[in-house]
Structure 1
């Protein structure tokens, strides 16, 4: 009976974790169709409106360094509730913004709120499921996140056309309020040993960064995430400007890739259950390498499928790599799981963004750039196959 109660409790916690990880993709994807209206409303260039996304992502990456130690010190529940509060209030500020400066400030604050919910979620995964099962749960969470790019733009388009662009932010406010109420009632604190160290101490970060298994697996997450970012930033140039696809057709291909990603994120845990996270990582890296070869080979064919087929492979490999690597990156840490999760998020977001930004400045063709991003990950398979790599991957708390 107690086991059944524990299982039900864990299932409820997973539902709450899904809600927590939805905040960041929702804040980006829902208002993408409204960007032209927003530029017209604020009488600014489209590039300045795009900064509302850049500032949000910057705040999310930097905020990890603050949210992680706070999650270890104050608890996952406290940080989660605080993050949701900041998110909802900043969305309200964005809804009422009358100048682009206030909108950018609101998005900066919203990024901080979203990063707190993300850190709290992944640290809670480590608390509840431990180092061995956390990778599987992370894959499920990533599967839930993948629904947002497929569905949020559709909702945002309808809201924008029916009620105006500001309604997207009022929806974020409503979502934040509802989730806050659910968390306040149902979320339990999962960190049994809150940290007694000062919140912001360099040694906390260095203790994580000096762990080889963390650096290796965090870099795997970073470089595989860079492939996805390279695709997202290049797809409009290739599909719309290069191949002349309409916005509806572009959205269709974008949605198909989201479905592929969802299927991969849901199948990766089953693969890990049967074959282990080590084999999942090796498989994901090899699939990514095949995707890079296909990307270069198919570049001569000017069709959407020729571009998207390697992307489908990269989306599938991403689920296997992230599911296998993220859990192992957090594995050696107990009371520092929040700090480790924060640094992992910093690697994934700010690190991958930096990698893509540097690659884009080399002025390569999109196909070549994306293929190179894929190939960067491939040498890690040789590390995994080595004695040292196997030792790093086997590291547990």
Structure 2
């Protein structure tokens, strides 16, 4: 049996396929558009589409993981990722590039479900919460470093180079997974239909599952809102250069990693409910601060980047305390349906977070008010998750999927 650290490192390598598939090629959007003779908006469209395919696809990959095992679906996802990377690197027009990105989205919906199911298979309680917190926290190194790496690759070898790098990463990872990833599907795992609507319906009838899952979706929605508004606020209003923006944007990712490490240490000492409470209060405080800043600060002070990033730092610290405990609580009752439950959680997390962020951004609000509203919503949802955690006594081990 492999060590827990090696096992978590393997799962992290699988989880990284998703953010790498987005952040690595961000600096090359204009070059890709020029190379494919299309508009930048067309290339940007592949980002939400990638996330949408990833979210919806988990509803199918979840049952596959339970029916056929974690390892075979991980290999399938990596094969699809290789096809998607090769297609994007060799695309000669926008439709071919779009198809390649859709295939990549299909790939990561497989690998993400495998990773989170694997944690549920091997760990429980505080240990699972720490693992989920580590996985989510480690993801934030990607926005910190991937754009810089992607830009350097493109500078020397053109816009196709980042996809070549992703192809090599996936190829090496597939070899490692083939030889080093154990099959962790529990013997009593229940088989289910390709799209087990009845089982999904039974899971969403569990109020506790919804409370914890929506708190995760709210936190993700806050991050997506921040990322969407950051270029306009920091570069147009605060007049930061692209390099300064990249450094501050990356520094925030490192800050989340640090807070995730702190949360990992606090979970066994203080308990998951306490960490959820810390996360909820951080979100609510950040939301209130950023909403009232325009009314209290002079325009010259408000235009400084710190007026935006300090509340963001407080809110993402809250996110670090929410993700691990909420994920472990949401999946804990479903020992024999871990794949299906992980898939449903991923779907709600992705679609709920993206949908909530989009709705807030469409409202006629200033950037500060829009982000503040999303922070407050996330804080309220996390407060509900905290109250729910106080009522958790026992656990359910399975749901009948017949």
Q: Which residue of 2 aligns with 1:3?
A: none
Q: Using the TM superposition, name which of 104-113 and 343-352 deviates more.
A: 343-352
Distance 2:326 2:30 in 1: 38
- Cα offset, 1:240, TM superposition: 1.1
Are 2:215 and 1:220 aligned?
yes
SS at match of 2:211: helix
Q: Using the TM superposition, name which of 324-333 and 205-214 deviates more.
A: 205-214
SS at match of 1:391: coil
Distance 1:269 1:97 in 2: 42
Q: Which residue of 2 aligns with 1:350?
A: 351
Q: Which residue of 2 aligns with 1:106?
A: 100
Q: Which residue of 1 aligns with 2:337?
A: 336
Distance 2:142 2:393 in 1: 31
Distance 1:313 1:353 in 2: 21
Answer whether contact 2:63 2:192 (CA < 8 A) is retained. no
Q: Which residue of 1 aligns with 2:365?
A: 364
Distance 2:363 2:330 in 1: 31
SS at match of 1:319: helix
What per-residue deviation string (whole Å, max 9, x for no partner) do you get for residues 321-372 of structure 1?
Answer: 1111011000110121111111111111111111111111112111001101
SS at match of 2:322: helix
Q: Which residue of 2 aligns with 1:20?
A: 14
Q: Which residue of 2 aligns with 1:271?
A: 266
What per-residue deviation string (whole Å, max 9, x for no partner) do you get for residues 64-90 of structure 1?
Answer: 101111111111111111111101111
| 1:187 aligned to which of 181, 186, 206 | 181
1:274-285 alignment, distance < 5 Å: 274-285=269-280
Q: Using the TM superposition, name which of 67-76 and 201-210 deviates more.
A: 201-210
Answer whether contact 2:226 2:371 (CA < 8 A) is retained. yes
- Normalised to the residue count of structure 2, the TM-score between the two structures is 0.94
- Cα offset, 1:389, TM superposition: 5.3
Q: Which residue of 2 aligns with 1:321?
A: 322
Q: Which residue of 2 aligns with 1:144?
A: 138
Distance 2:80 2:145 in 1: 24
- Cα offset, 1:393, TM superposition: 7.7
- Cα offset, 1:19, TM superposition: 0.6
| 1:48 aligned to which of 18, 21, 42 | 42
Distance 1:52 1:381, change over 3 A: closer
Are 2:80 and 1:86 aligned?
yes
- Cα offset, 1:162, TM superposition: 0.5
- Cα offset, 1:243, TM superposition: 1.9
Distance 1:65 1:381 in 2: 24
Answer whether contact 1:212 1:392 (CA < 8 A) is retained. no
Distance 1:381 1:166 in 2: 41
| 1:286 aligned to which of 264, 281, 284 | 281
Q: Which residue of 1 aligns with 2:236?
A: 241
Answer whether contact 1:213 1:393 (CA < 8 A) is retained. no
Answer whether contact 2:215 2:385 (CA < 8 A) is retained. no
Distance 1:54 1:283 in 2: 31
- Cα offset, 1:396, TM superposition: 5.8
Answer whether contact 1:71 1:338 (CA < 8 A) is retained. yes
Answer whether contact 1:73 1:195 (CA < 8 A) is retained. yes
Q: Which residue of 1 aligns with 2:400?
A: none
Are 2:121 and 1:127 aligned?
yes
- Cα offset, 1:384, TM superposition: 5.2
- Cα offset, 1:376, TM superposition: 1.0
Q: Which residue of 2 aligns with 1:206?
A: 201
- Cα offset, 1:395, TM superposition: 4.4
- Normalised to the residue count of structure 1, the TM-score between the two structures is 0.95
Distance 1:394 1:286 in 2: 26
Answer whether contact 1:328 1:395 (CA < 8 A) is retained. no
- Cα offset, 1:15, TM superposition: 1.4
Q: Which residue of 2 aligns with 1:68?
A: 62
Q: Which residue of 2 aligns with 1:375?
A: 376
Number of corresponding residues? 390
Distance 1:69 1:53, change over 3 A: same
Q: Which residue of 1 aligns with 2:391?
A: 391
Distance 1:130 1:77 in 2: 20
Distance 1:381 1:185 in 2: 40
Distance 2:27 2:354 in 1: 22
- Cα offset, 1:16, TM superposition: 0.6
Q: Which residue of 1 aligns with 2:151?
A: 157
Distance 2:159 2:386 in 1: 51
